[in-house]
Amino acid sequence: MTNTIIITVTLLGLALITLVWMAVRLKMRVQSEHRLREEAEASKQQIIVEQNRNRQLKQEMTNNIAHELKTPVSSIRGYLEILLADKPVSDEQRHFFIERCYSQTLRLSNLINDVSLINKLEEANDLFVKEPVDIKATAREAISELMLKSEQHGIAIHDNLPDGMVVNGNTMLLYSIFRNLIENAIEYAGDGSTVCIQCYKPEDETHYFIHLYDTGKGVGNEYLPRLFDRFLRIDEGRSRKSGGTGLGLSIVKHAVLFHEGDIYVKNRVEGGLEFFFSIKK
């Protein structure tokens, strides 16, 4: 009788343990399924947020492009209407109007090229071929191209980059980094300023770190967080007069990211604007 009771109690205990174990497993399974559903829902919401954000960015870019196209197209149309009107136009005026039309077509061409480049960087950056690129030679090419413009503004450009800075990158994109940053300084630093390019943290094993600054006026601190935004114009009138598309610094940021680097900007304590960016070796 005692053995029977012991066996019965043992079986009941095993059954209870089994039930508890099954209950725990069931609870764990329910929790796991609930967690998976939550993760799936969170992932779905994240995808929706990203889709909405991309849609908004594309809509903003479309609106900005339409706005940027309006001015040169309207100017060209106005000049051509004058030339085609019955009212006589002097040779001097005709030449002036044709020159203005030509400058506006250049602006349109630059805008189309910049928009195309940004779209390619965002959606098909694998199409950019990589090859060994000499950073110093690329910077010197950009400086040479901008020498006349810098001399017109009385701006001295000092290239203090060391020799031997070779990376596996895209020549055109690396050139665009230096070209846009230097041209930005020439246009906005102020006449008589100095632009300096140098390397810092040379001991780093993975990246080259480059410091490009000017001794000019800098910008309002409120603009710094948005300086790489598309079509940002701090000085609307001057930006348009210079023929800029408003996409130069955005291209710079995309080009740096393409080369697995990072970039940030701040106002110099001594005056002027300074950019710090890295390029993977």
pLDDT digit string, tens, across residues 22-69: 777 777 787 777 787 777 777 777 777 766 766 776 676 677 777 777
Domains of the chain by residue range: 1-125, 128-280
Query: Could you report the per-residue pLDDT of 168-218, keeping only the tens digit for each?
Result: 999 999 999 999 999 999 998 999 999 999 999 888 889 999 999 999 988
pLDDT of residue 144: 95
User: How far is C-alpha 17 from the chain's CA centre?
Assistant: 61
Size of the chain in residues? 281
Residue 72's pLDDT is 84
CA distances from 254 to 108, 125, 249 (A): 21, 10, 9
Architecture of domain 1-125: Orthogonal Bundle (1.10)
Pairwise CA distance, residues 67 & 109, whole Å: 15
- Confidence check: pLDDT of 73 > 90: no
Q: How far apart are the first and last CA of the chain?
A: 84
* CB contact at 8 A, 175 and 190: no
Annotate 79-101 with three-state secondary structure: HHHHHHCCCCCCHHHHHHHHHHH
Three-state DSSP state, 206: coil
Of 180, 200, 25, 204, nearest to 110 by C-alpha is: 180
Average pLDDT, the chain: 85
Q: Residue 119 above 70 pLDDT? A: yes
- For the structural domain made of 128-280, what CATH number should be given? 3.30.565.10
Cα 177 to Cα 190: distance, rounded to the nearest angstrom: 20
